[in-house]
Chains A and B, each alone.
Chain A
Amino acid sequence: MDEQQDHQTLLDLVKELVHRLNPSTATTTTQFAQSLKYATRILASRMTPSIAADESAMAESIKRSLVNEGNSSGALAFADLYTKFSSKSGFGTIKNKWAVLYLLKVVAEDRKAAKKSNSRASSGLFASTVCGGLPVVFDEESGGAKKVLDRNRSGSNGVLLVSKDSENFREIAVREYGDLVREESEVSEGVLVRDVLYACQGIDGKYVKFDKNFDGYVLLDSVKVPRAVRVMVRKVCELGWLFMKVRDHVSESMDRFPAEDVGTIGQAFCAALQDELSEYYKLLAVLEAQANNPIPMVSEAGNSGNYLSLRRLAVWFAEPVVKMRLMAVLVDCCKVLRGGAMAGAIHVHAQHGDPLVQEFMRQLLRRVCSPLFEMVRSWVLEGELDDIFGEFFILGQPVKAESLWREGYRLHDGMLPSFISQSLAQRILRTGKSINFLRVCCEDQGWAVAAEEAAAAVGTTTKRYGLGYGETDALEALIAEAAKRIDRHLMDVMYKQYKFKEHCLAIKRYLLLGQGDFVQYLMDIVGPELSEPANTISSFKLAGLLESAIRSSNAQYDDADMLDRLRVKMMPHGTGDRGWDVFSLEYDARVPLNTVFTESVMGRYLRIFNFLWKLRRVEHSLIGAWKTMKPNRITSNFLTKQEGSIKFQFVSTLRRCQVLWVEMNHFVTNLQYYIMFEVLEVSWANFVDEMESARDLDDLLAAHEKYLQSIVEKSLLGERSQTLCKTLFLLFDLILQFRSHADRLYEGVHELQARTAVSALSSQGRTKTRQKQNDESSWGGGGRKALTKLAGEFLQTIGQDLEKISKDYSSSLEGFIAQLPMQQHVDLKFLLFRLDFTEFYSRLRLGK
């Protein structure tokens, strides 16, 4: 009883609605009845909204669309009304508020679309077929044509009487054919049409059922129909099979959604499919309404308008089948894919020549890609990696601040859709990375301003969901703008706030020994300390010495912050290591500069430092040797007093020592010159140039890498010059040995001199103290002889040692010079040229 009453209320309501919408027709006319029937059919159809029923989300979406239209005051008013509306509760309120909102929205959109274009260019997929309102058009057209025909006939009536008879024949023939058809088929076409319509919704009909073996809908074998009809039914029912496939995928994905990660892009895809399906439902509803009209028999000459035959159905379905087939293909290829990979796979199918397919795919992709583009947008402008399902083509991983730039984020090639090129993806990656770098490492807030500027420069596309598929230009423009501004800002922060250039210079001055007075002073004061065994040296003391070296050189005027970072580092040492072997300087780069000066980079700096330090030490000790050799007068004075063979031996030893020193000094000075001017300064100048032209942090990193690499290569520390480097260190060792021998020689000379002075003094004193004369003269005479002998022996051993060193040295040097031209680096040619300027060595080699 109650149900019946409900039904009656419903019917009344629908009647009233139809009347209100078409006030011109009286409620009694057949036309009204027709409309009513039509209305009930549509209302009873299986159309469902493609979105979940969420009231506040719906209100939100209406508001947003109002804002997008530029009607912000309307949006505000709407929000106000909505809050009032939703707060109503209790008896007498509207219970299904969501439905009302949804209805309002759809009606408004439909109206707008209708206003915009009365033609077929409507937004929906099936809209083009539904909009056409084919039934009505048919009606008028055929009616008109008929009238024309009638007129023609009546005009020719009097002239061709015979034709009437022939027409009769034709009518008879047609009637006979109709009978024949009726006999042949058990089932009327109308029933079949109805079944096919069911099949197209995935429901088994009375005669048309799903056949598992055949994998499709077929007409039952038991039904007797002409072959042509059977084939036609099978063809049309392809749509049903495709529809089931798409529908199953959508419902499966939706069911899976909360538990498994279908992902936002997968959801967007399902929503797009669902929308297309609901358009399809609309079409079906219209068609079902038409299917109720009886199909006129062939014999009935009259045209009954909008009836539905199998053939008509086939025509109606021509377009939907194409689309449904596409959707089925997409469903197939996207089943296992997620995220960007899915978008890429769909994009591949969009490359199609048919404008219909193209348009369809474009619309679908717009919706599918909208989460993806939203991710790109928030990544590029806000640095947010908003990707809980792992769908984006950029992967982030938690790392320490110093490796954030290098390892924090990377591209995920599998998720990179093919419509975003590799280079663009790299730029996208870098822009977001820059923002994150600024935020995490530089603790800088200014990037937000830069991002806003970029957004303002590009314009409308930066709103949420403003970007869409197919607008590659807009995307590129956005990326380019954002990248440009953010990179510029990052560079600014690096140069101005974090003084990157100044730090590089400080490293060059202290680690690469560019600050001469500082190095000289440091060498002077830590020298004695470093000659001790490594395990007895206190690094605190060295730190104190470093401090005083800074104080007493020009380095004291440097920025305190930079001097602060300079430290002494003792490398791990083994037994027998001297202080020289373990001492090194270290520069503490700190965040964010340690992105450039990473541990491996600092390791290479350390190698360079050790090399340069050794070179300096050798040079320093050679200078020390020169200092002891310098007081020539004393020795020459002493020499002239000696006699005979001793004098000759003396002179020759000293000469050998001098010659060897000069030779070594020539080598070390030139090497030093080469390292300082050809290597360090040239590399530095190049680096400064590149630093100034660097547009982003990657450029800067590359420039710095190049700088360091060129220093390592040119100062013989590279892989290829290992043997050469070994020879060089051998030469250094020989020079240090020479230094100790030379020191011994001059110590000996000084000692001898002192002894001679004592004996001379005693011989002078002989005249004064006569008593002691005998004793003293005997001592003196014996002393002189012993002294001469001692000197002879001493000079001989020293001479032998020097001889040995000289031999070793010249053979090593020869080896070194012979190896030099084999090096690949062109700058080493200059070193060779300098060392062998007078062609002394090459001639020596030829002479052998």
Chain B
Amino acid sequence: MLGSWQVLLIQPYNMDPEAARIARESLDLAFHMSNILDTGLDRHTLSILIALCEQGINPEALAALIKELRREPPPKPGVP
């Protein structure tokens, strides 16, 4: 379902090869930058994050989410 980033980024029904190429290159660049900054994100996660940003999600909130989820396992449901 979420196999490739291009699918996420662009509506699947109006995919064209040129757009896909540009999108892949952009992701490559972003991934390089991410590595330089040592964010520890893998390529796939990054593609999801970019797609979320494209959807207008606030980057600050995204960053906070990554921080929270990484540090500790998410809150478990209460023990009865």
Binding site for B on A (CB under 8 A): 6, 9-10, 12-14, 16-18, 20-22, 25, 30-31, 34-35, 38-39, 42-45, 47-49, 62, 66, 74, 77-78, 81-82, 84-85, 88, 90-96, 99-108, 110-112, 114, 130-131, 133, 135-136, 139, 143, 278, 282, 285-286, 293, 302-307
Q: A49 touching B36 by the CB < 8 A rule? A: no
On whether A62 and B71 interact (CB within 8 A), knowing A21-B45, A95-B54, A96-B53, the answer reads no
Question: Please, which residues of chain B bring their CB within 8 A of the CB of A111?
Answer: 38-40, 70
Interface hits, B28-50 → A, CB 8 Å: 29-30, 32-34, 36-42, 44-45, 48-50
Question: Please, which residues of chain A bring their CB within 8 A of the CB of B55?
Answer: 6, 9-10, 13
Q: B19 touching A139 by the CB < 8 A rule? A: no
Q: B78 touching A48 by the CB < 8 A rule? A: no
Q: B80 touching A302 by the CB < 8 A rule? A: yes
A298 to B71, CA, bound (A): 32
Of B9, B48, B59, the residue contacting A20 (CB under 8 A) is B48
Q: B29 touching A35 by the CB < 8 A rule? A: no
A13 to B1, CA, bound (A): 10
> B18-29 interface mask toward A, CB cutoff 8 Å, 1 = contact, 0 = none?
111111011001
Q: A10 touching B52 by the CB < 8 A rule? A: yes
Q: B71 touching A92 by the CB < 8 A rule? A: no
Give the residue name and chain of the B residue nearest to A94 (CB): B26
Of A35, A47, A82, A100, the residue contacting B53 (CB under 8 A) is A100
Question: Please, which residues of chain B bring their CB within 8 A of the CB of A92?
Answer: 6, 9-10, 18-23, 26
A130 to chain B, nearest CB (A): 8
Q: B59 touching A66 by the CB < 8 A rule? A: no
Give the residue name and chain of the B residue nearest to A7 (CB): B55
Question: Please, which residues of chain B bring their CB within 8 A of the CB of A35?
Answer: 69, 74-75
Q: A47 touching B44 by the CB < 8 A rule? A: no
Q: A133 touching B71 by the CB < 8 A rule? A: yes
A81 to B6, CA, bound (A): 20
Q: B72 touching A133 by the CB < 8 A rule? A: yes
Of A85, A91, A114, the residue contacting B29 (CB under 8 A) is A85
A105 to B63, CA, bound (A): 9
Q: A139 touching B52 by the CB < 8 A rule? A: no
On whether A16 and B48 interact (CB within 8 A), knowing A30-B77, A78-B33, A100-B53, the answer reads yes
B52 to chain A, nearest CB (A): 5
A21 to B62, CA, bound (A): 12
Question: Please, which residues of chain A bring their CB within 8 A of the CB of B50?
Answer: 94, 100
On whether A22 and B73 interact (CB within 8 A), knowing A94-B54, A95-B54, A111-B40, the answer reads yes
Q: B77 touching A13 by the CB < 8 A rule? A: no
Of A14, A43, A81, A293, the residue contacting B36 (CB under 8 A) is A81
Q: B22 touching A108 by the CB < 8 A rule? A: no
Q: Would you give 12 A-B contacts (Cβ < 8 Å), ordered by A?
A: A20-B45, A25-B73, A43-B65, A49-B58, A100-B50, A103-B62, A104-B39, A107-B41, A135-B75, A136-B75, A305-B77, A306-B78
A122 to chain B, nearest CB (A): 10
Question: Please, which residues of chain A bring their CB within 8 A of the CB of B52?
Answer: 10, 13-14, 17
A39 to B26, CA, bound (A): 26
Give the residue name and chain of the B residue nearest to A75 (CB): B36
Q: A139 touching B9 by the CB < 8 A rule? A: no
A807 to chain B, nearest CB (A): 102
B27 to chain A, nearest CB (A): 8
Main secondary structure, interface of B, reads helix
Question: Please, which residues of chain A bring their CB within 8 A of the CB of B74?
Answer: 18, 22, 25, 31, 34-35, 38
CB within 8 Å: A-B pair count? 209
Q: A305 touching B78 by the CB < 8 A rule? A: yes
Question: Please, which residues of chain B bring their CB within 8 A of the CB of A114?
Answer: 67, 70-71
Q: B68 touching A47 by the CB < 8 A rule? A: no
B1 to chain A, nearest CB (A): 7
Q: A99 touching B59 by the CB < 8 A rule? A: yes
Question: Please, which residues of chain B bring their CB within 8 A of the CB of A108?
Answer: 37-39
Q: A47 touching B64 by the CB < 8 A rule? A: yes
A285 to B58, CA, bound (A): 13
On whether A107 and B66 interact (CB within 8 A), knowing A62-B37, A100-B53, the answer reads yes
A254 to B16, CA, bound (A): 43
Question: Please, which residues of chain B bring their CB within 8 A of the CB of A84?
Answer: 29
A700 to chain B, nearest CB (A): 54
A30 to B48, CA, bound (A): 23
Question: Please, which residues of chain A bring their CB within 8 A of the CB of B10?
Answer: 92
Give the residue name and chain of the A residue nearest to B27 (CB): A94
A39 to B62, CA, bound (A): 9
Q: B54 touching A34 by the CB < 8 A rule? A: no
Of B19, B30, B61, the residue contacting A85 (CB under 8 A) is B30
Q: B22 touching A139 by the CB < 8 A rule? A: no
A104 to B71, CA, bound (A): 17
Question: Please, which residues of chain A bring their CB within 8 A of the CB of B56?
Answer: 96
Give the residue name and chain of the B residue nearest to A45 (CB): B61
Q: B45 touching A81 by the CB < 8 A rule? A: no
A656 to B36, CA, bound (A): 108
Q: A306 touching B2 by the CB < 8 A rule? A: no
B53 to chain A, nearest CB (A): 4
B78 to chain A, nearest CB (A): 4
Q: A43 touching B57 by the CB < 8 A rule? A: yes
Give the residue name and chain of the A residue nearest to B72 (CB): A133
B13 to chain A, nearest CB (A): 11
A107 to B42, CA, bound (A): 13
B73 to chain A, nearest CB (A): 7
Question: Please, which residues of chain B bring their CB within 8 A of the CB of A77?
Answer: 32, 36
Beyond contacts A47-B61, A285-B64: 19 other A-B pairs, Cβ-Cβ < 8 A, are A10-B52, A34-B74, A43-B57, A43-B61, A66-B36, A81-B33, A81-B36, A82-B33, A88-B29, A92-B26, A103-B59, A106-B60, A106-B63, A130-B68, A143-B79, A302-B80, A304-B78, A305-B75, A307-B78
A50 to B1, CA, bound (A): 35
On whether A12 and B2 interact (CB within 8 A), knowing A43-B62, A104-B33, A111-B40, the answer reads yes
Q: A93 touching B78 by the CB < 8 A rule? A: no
A108 to B70, CA, bound (A): 13
Q: Which 3 A-B pairs give the minimum distances between C-beta atoms?
A: A92-B19, A35-B74, A305-B78
B14 to chain A, nearest CB (A): 9
A112 to B39, CA, bound (A): 8
A133 to chain B, nearest CB (A): 5
Question: Please, which residues of chain A bring their CB within 8 A of the CB of B49?
Answer: 17, 100, 103
A13 to B3, CA, bound (A): 11
B38 to chain A, nearest CB (A): 6
Interface centre among A49, A106, A285, A302 (most CB of B within 10 A): A106
A93 to B21, CA, bound (A): 9
Give the residue name and chain of the B residue nearest to A143 (CB): B79
Question: Please, which residues of chain B bring their CB within 8 A of the CB of A304?
Answer: 78-80
Question: Please, which residues of chain A bring their CB within 8 A of the CB of B23?
Answer: 92-94
Q: A16 touching B2 by the CB < 8 A rule? A: yes
Q: A48 touching B37 by the CB < 8 A rule? A: no
Question: Please, which residues of chain B bring their CB within 8 A of the CB of A106?
Answer: 59-60, 63
Of A6, A95, A102, the residue contacting B59 (CB under 8 A) is A102
A66 to B39, CA, bound (A): 13
On whether A42 and B65 interact (CB within 8 A), knowing A20-B48, A114-B70, A293-B78, the answer reads yes
A223 to B7, CA, bound (A): 52
Give the residue name and chain of the A residue nearest to B56 (CB): A96
A283 to chain B, nearest CB (A): 10
Question: Please, which residues of chain A bring their CB within 8 A of the CB of B77?
Answer: 30-31, 34, 305
A18 to chain B, nearest CB (A): 7
A99 to B60, CA, bound (A): 9
B63 to chain A, nearest CB (A): 4
Question: Please, which residues of chain A bring their CB within 8 A of the CB of B40?
Answer: 107, 111
On whether A17 and B45 interact (CB within 8 A), knowing A43-B57, A92-B18, A133-B72, the answer reads yes
A103 to B72, CA, bound (A): 20
Q: B60 touching A38 by the CB < 8 A rule? A: no
